[in-house]
């Protein structure tokens, strides 16, 4: 479908949707716990639905009522009775692959595009610890054998999702497990988020820094213990788009339901906005961006690559040059986001170049109407919608329905903040 966006600033207050990153982790921990857990999560997405379906295939029972997921654990280890369909969710696949390996195996399926996202480093680590995987990442794939405890050595410049998957599986193993990750570690805040959620479910990791590595050690058979209930926090990743819109508006945008103490990596949006010269207003449970004169900045996103689509419209319109570095991982997302961002914004008048693993923007005073391909990437579609508010004519976003992957109500909330859009087939 095509979303036609008319120019016009966004302003007002919007509630944050629940964090997809946190929900994935909490649901998996709940399914591995000793007793049922109520997960309070008022909104879902295609990725969360994929994790729910896979947990069901592994034997968990999940009842949903009024934004509350009641998760009954999957019980003792056993090979999954039916395939795990991860759809297009990289998090679902990478988190549950080690878990399934610790429980006797499973067959994984998914959308064709999911096979294109790198998985081999994780598969190699599993193979080194007694697991048989019948492909190098192409789906469908079958995991068999029994994952053994020990030392898992991984470089730090790979997906943090591999490390999260191993952390989730480690308490299920018979021996002490150490995950040794070479520094520097990209997307490290996502690992901290995993450690935080594990702690709530009674599982702790000992963290030691030695010989240029961070070592995460978990004791054998550390039982998951349900906290009874768990409320998923507000999502900084998607809130970042509204805060960027506030920086481009006349009166600003406030997002409520955000924790300033959250371990989510994309809480870094507040620092990024400040570098652009945006005025940021914080409270204990909200954040707001108030417009000011935008200036170019140099921003390292190695720990928060998902922020780039949100801040790209600011970079395109800020006075002077903006250089976004540490963005190499964006090539491995739902699309090659370095290419998708530059292609999309250049089509409506921005000046963006891809240089190695960086994006270089020369600020323009005005964007223009035109047509953008969302590249089947939810964050590119959201970026295009925010950029379109500052165009001098309508912007047509092809494939804009892909926002359902992480934020099904994105365009409804866009309209609630004053955005003008209509759907075309």
Kindly write down the DSSP assignment for every residue of 35-74, as one continuous string.
Answer: S-EEEE-S---HHHHHHHHHHHHTT-EEEEETTEEEEE--
The Cα–Cα gap between 228 and 243 comes to: 33
In tens, the pLDDT along 209-237 reads 999 999 999 988 778 999 999 999 999 99
DSSP 229-267: EEEPPB-HHHHHHHHHHHHTSSS-EEEES--TT---GGG
Residue 372's DSSP bridge partners are: 397
- Per DSSP (E only), the strands in 188-330 are 206-210, 213-218, 229-231, 253-256, 279-283, 286-290, 298-300, 321-325
Q: Please, what are the averages of pLDDT over each run of 10 residues along the chain (425 residues)?
A: 96 97 98 97 95 96 96 84 94 98 95 90 96 96 96 92 97 95 92 97 95 93 92 97 96 96 95 96 95 94 96 98 95 93 98 97 96 97 98 98 97 98 92
Geometric angle at alpha carbon 191, from 186 and 197, rounded to 5° = 160
How much is the pLDDT for 220? 81
Task: Check 47, 266, 306, 373 and give the catalytic one.
Answer: 306
Pairing of strands 286-290, 253-256: antiparallel
Which CATH superfamily includes the segment(s) 20-220?
Answer: Enolpyruvate transferase domain (3.65.10.10)
Record the pTM.
0.93
Instruction: Collect contacts of 271-279 with beta carbons under 8 A, ≥24 apart.
Output: 272/297, 272/299, 272/307, 272/311, 273/243, 273/244, 273/247, 273/311, 273/314, 275/299, 276/247, 276/311, 276/314, 276/315, 276/318, 276/322, 277/318, 278/246, 278/247, 278/314, 279/252
How much is the pLDDT for 81? 80
Domain residue ranges in the chain: 2-17+234-424, 20-220
Residue environment code for 146-166, b if the CB has 16+ CB neighbours within 10 A, otherwise e: bbbbeebebebbbbbbbbbbb
**Nearest to residue 189, comparing CAs of 263, 294, 102, 277?**
263
How much is the pLDDT for 76? 75
Which CATH superfamily includes the segment(s) 2-17+234-424?
Answer: Enolpyruvate transferase domain (3.65.10.10)
In tens, the pLDDT along 285-315 reads 999 999 889 999 999 999 999 999 999 999 9
Domains 2-17+234-424 and 20-220 share a fold: yes
Judge whether 306 counts as a catalytic residue: yes
Ramachandran angles phi, psi of 332, nearest 5°? -110, 20
């Amino acid at each position: 479908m095509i979303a036609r966006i008319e120019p016009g600033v966004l302003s007002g207050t919007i509630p944050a949707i629940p964090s997809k990153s946190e929900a994935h982790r909490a649901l998996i921990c709940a399914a591995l716990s000793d007793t049922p857990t109520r997960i309070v999560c008022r909104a879902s997405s295609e990725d969360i639905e994929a994790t729910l379906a896979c947990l069901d295939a592994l034997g968990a029972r999940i009842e949903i009522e009024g934004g509350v997921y009641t998760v009954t654990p999957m019980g003792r280890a056993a090979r999954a009775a039916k395939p795990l369909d991860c759809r297009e969710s990289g998090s679902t696949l990478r988190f549950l692959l080690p878990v399934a390996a610790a429980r006797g195996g499973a067959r994984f399926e998914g959308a064709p595009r999911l096979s294109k996202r790198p998985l081999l480093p994780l598969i190699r680590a599993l193979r080194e610890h007694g697991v048989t995987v019948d492909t190098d990442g192409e789906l469908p794939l079958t995991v068999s054998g029994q994952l053994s405890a020990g030392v898992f050595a991984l470089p730090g410049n790979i997906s943090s999702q591999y490390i999260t998957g191993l952390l989730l599986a480690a308490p299920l193993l018979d021996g002490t497990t150490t995950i040794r990750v070479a520094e520097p570690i990209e997307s490290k805040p996502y690992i901290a988020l995993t450690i935080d959620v594990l702690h709530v479910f009674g599982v702790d990791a000992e963290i030691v820094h030695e010989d240029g590595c961070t070592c995460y050690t978990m004791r054998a058979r550390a039982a998951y213990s349900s906290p009874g209930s768990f409320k998923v926090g507000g999502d900084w990743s998607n809130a970042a788009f509204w805060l960027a819109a506030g920086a481009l508006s006349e009166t600003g945008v406030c997002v409520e339901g955000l924790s300033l103490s959250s371990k989510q990596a994309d809480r870094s949006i507040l620092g990024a906005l400040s570098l652009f010269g945006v005025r940021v207003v914080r409270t204990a449970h909200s954040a707001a961006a108030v417009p000011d004169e935008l200036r170019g900045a140099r921003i390292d996103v190695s720990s928060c690559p998902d922020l780039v689509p949100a801040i790209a419209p600011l970079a395109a319109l800020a006075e002077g040059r903006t250089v976004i570095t540490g963005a190499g991982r964006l090539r491995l997302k739902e699309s090659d986001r370095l290419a998708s961002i530059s292609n999309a914004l250049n089509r409506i008048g921005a000046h963006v170049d891809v240089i190695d693993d960086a994006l270089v923007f020369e600020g323009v005073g005005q964007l223009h109407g035109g047509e953008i391909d969302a590249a089947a990437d939810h964050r590119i579609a959201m970026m295009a919608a925010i950029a379109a508010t500052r165009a001098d004519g309508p912007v047509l976003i092809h494939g804009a329905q892909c926002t359902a992957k992480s934020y099904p109500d994105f365009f409804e909330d866009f309209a609630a903040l004053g955005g003008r859009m209509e759907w075309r087939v």
